[in-house]
Amino acid sequence: MMIQVKCLSVYHWAIIFFCLVMGGCASRPPAEALAVGQGIARHALRYKGIPYRYGGASPRGFDCSGLVYYVHRKHGLNVPRTAEDQWEKAEEVDDDELYPGDLLFFRLPKRAWWNLFGLRKNWHVGIYVGQNRFVHAPSTGKRVRVDTFAGFWREYFKGAGRYWW
């Protein structure tokens, strides 16, 4: 009894090589893109301590989406102005594939009477800085700060997105 072994052609080896290379690229952004994401995260951290300001999108005061908008524009990236629009337009990212510079989106609980009528959407966004932490402008009376992506924030997590790759 004779067993026949077929050899793969150069064409088949090329396809296998291409799939292996592309599969590796899909799981991790290229170094240049990672540098942009890290730059966004570092830039956002500069604004720790800046007061929250509803509608604010400058170092005089930020709301959550204003911080994202301002920092991304400083890196030549156009993002929408509101957290809800940022969520809708961002490239979706799995939360186990987060890199510095990615955006974390939250749907917060409705606490005030006007929220019962849908007058406020309760979207919130922050910039992931690595090590399970993110920087954001939390709310009125508070300042831009770093929080851990756990507990309350994990409970109300909607998803992650990216603009830098």
Q: Which residues are catalytic?
A: 64, 124, 136
Q: What is the 3-state secondary structure (H, E, C) of 60-119?
A: CEECHHHHHHHHHHHCCCCCCCCHHHHHHHCEEECCCCCCCCCEEEEECCCCCHHHHHCC
Give the integer Cα–Cα distance in Å for 97 and 94. Answer: 5
Give the integer Cα–Cα distance in Å for 129 and 127. Answer: 6
Give the integer Cα–Cα distance in Å for 67 and 125. Answer: 9
